[in-house]
Amino acid sequence: MTETSFYDAVGGEETFRRLVHRFYEGVAKDPLLRPLYPEEDLTGAEDRLRGFLIQYWGGPNTYSQERGHPRLRMRHVPFVIGEAEREAWLKHMRDGVDSLDLPEELESRLWTYLVNAAHSLVNSPT
Ligand code: HEM
């Protein structure tokens, strides 16, 4: 018997596509976060975040094939991330998670992970 991954349980690629797309719709209009993203077009950033989350939750490892080891802390060093940035990031992620209408247990696993990951990437006291 093979165990179903979280990735499959929540609906596979389509679910992560919706989550991350919704998230970046929020970022695109966010006056605090938008200036942090170096590229004018957010589609590359959307691909990277979606690929990472898919891999993390047990889907295909395309992210690491293209980007190598995630090293998220290191990759966020160029961006000043304080509490305000973290909370703005989580607000848009919350919108994305809410839009999925997942069963409560899956939703809570996903949300707990995102909150912890966002806290771990704060790199500035302000
Ligand atoms: C990349 C901001 C939290 C995963 C980025 C980028 C920015 C950013 C500005 C560069 C965009 C690009 O790829 O061109 C933030 C802020 C956060 C945050 C302000 C607030 C705490 C997170 C969290 C995760 C994450 C919690 C994972 C759960 C990623 C990934 C990339 C990325 C995978 C692309 C890395 C790469 O392959 O280069 N982030 N981020 N970020 N972020 Fe975040």
pLDDT band per the 50, 70, 90 thresholds, residue 37 = very high
CA-wise closest residue to 49 among 98, 108, 121, 105: 121
- Under DSSP, the state recorded for 12 is T
Taking the centre of ligand 1 as the mean of its atom positions, its distance from the CA of residue 31, in whole angstroms, is: 17
pLDDT band per the 50, 70, 90 thresholds, residue 1 = low
> Quick one: pLDDT at residue 126?
75
**Dist CA 102 CA 107 (whole Å):** 5
Which atom of ligand 1 is least distant from the CA of 33?
19
Quick: pLDDT tens for 82-122.
999 999 999 999 999 999 999 999 999 999 999 999 999 99
Asked if pLDDT for residue 63 goes beyond 90, the answer is yes
119 is in an annotated binding site: yes
What are the tokens at 66? 């293209």
* Residue nearest ligand 1's atom 3 by CA: 118
- Under DSSP, the state recorded for 4 is P
CA-wise closest residue to 94 among 118, 76, 125: 118
ipTM higher than 0.90? yes
